Structures are given as structure tokens and as C-alpha cells.
Amino acid sequence: MARPRVSELFEQEPPHWGGRGDPYFWREMAEQLADAPWPASTEALQRLLGETFERLSGHPLDYDTWIYLARHAHGGMSSGMVSPEFWRDTAIPELLERYRRRRSWPRWLRR
């Protein structure tokens, strides 16, 4: 049986975003984590997500202003803008909750 991958947590996109670049950044994070093995703990996942965010955006999660990423600019005034606040307060907590729910499934359902 295939082991779960972190990218599975990204399969359902949030209904709302912080910035216009966030949907593209979400997909980029999922692609980057496509082969990442299932973390052993919530803390390990949180660390992995924070490190991946920083590597891809060039800024830490606690960065206090929006981040412009030209590769995610597809037109419009705020195009390409990624909101660290959205990632800190919404996206990452949601991904962690999905992880916790998945871990609580019986072992045979996780396969």
C-alpha cells in the first residue's frame, strides 16, 4: 500500500485566500511536498511547512508584510501577493488540523 504524502493535505483548497498569489503558492507548496514522507508528529509537519514557506517565498512565516512573488503574478493590481498572515492564521492551522484528523483514522483507513 502507498504511504500517505504531505501533498495529500493540500488536495482541497481553502474557500478564501489572503492574497491573489496565495492560490498559486498553495499549489506550489503542494508540488514541493509531493514526495515528502508523512511526518511523525504535528510539530514535525509544522516545522516542514514553515521551512518550505521560507524556502519558496524567501521570507519567514512571521514576516509582517505581504510578499510579492513575480512567478505568481498573473494580472491585476495585487497579483502575485502572498499573505504570511493568511498562512500563519488560516492555511497552516487548517493543514495541521487535516493532519491530526488523518492521524486519528484507524490504521487500515490511512492506507
Q: Looking at the predicted structure, is the pLDDT value of residue 4 above 80? A: yes
Reduce the secondary structure of the chain to three states and give it as a string: CCCCEHHHHHCCCCCCCCCCCHHHHHHHHHHHCCCCECCCCHHHHHHHHHHHHHHHHCCCCCCCCCEECHHHCCCCCCCCEECHHHHHHHHHHHHHHHHHHHHHCCHHHCC
pLDDT score, position 76: 80
pLDDT tens digit sequence for 28-87: 999 999 999 999 999 999 999 999 999 999 999 999 999 999 999 988 878 999 999 999
What's the whole-model pTM score?
Answer: 0.89
